[in-house]
Amino acid sequence: MRKTPWIATVLLLAVTAWAQAPNFDYPYLMRNASGFIVNGNAYDCPCFGDWDDDGSIDMMVGVFYDGNIHYYHNSAPAGSEPVFENFVLVYSDGSPISVSYG
């Protein structure tokens, strides 16, 4: 008698019983002095990193409605809660970087 199908079935049932649905937290709307950073556009795409090599995490956002990339400098010290300044456009060769959409 082969035990492999029986063992596989028991393992599959055990894994299924312990599996849980993902638990996503509520969205967090980021703000700076001018208001919400990403306001009402679900297609904006933030990316975090230390872009200016000062030890604090800055943010770049690809903005859907105009195709530009917005850079938000984090003026807080490294390890502190971020304080994002107003955005500046990211330039390359003297013109704003813009990607098409649609």
Question: Over the stretch 16-75, which tens digit does the pLDDT of each residue have?
Answer: 666 767 677 776 777 777 777 766 566 778 889 998 999 999 999 888 778 888 999 999
72 forms beta bridges with 59
More confident residue, 29 or 77: 77
Distances (CA, A) of 58 to 15, 35, 97: 40, 17, 18
Integer Cα distance of 20 and 18 in angstroms: 6
Contact between 29 and 81 under an 8 Å Cβ cutoff? The reply is: no
Q: What is the pLDDT of residue 101?
A: 64
Q: Which of 1-5, 6-10, 84-88 has the highest mean pLDDT?
A: 84-88
Please spell the DSSP secondary structure of 36-83, one letter per residue: ESS-S-TT-EEEEE-TTSSSS-EEEEE-TTT-BEEEE-B-SPTTSPP-
More confident residue, 11 or 55: 55
Contact between 57 and 50 under an 8 Å Cβ cutoff? The reply is: yes
Q: What is the pLDDT of residue 13?
A: 67
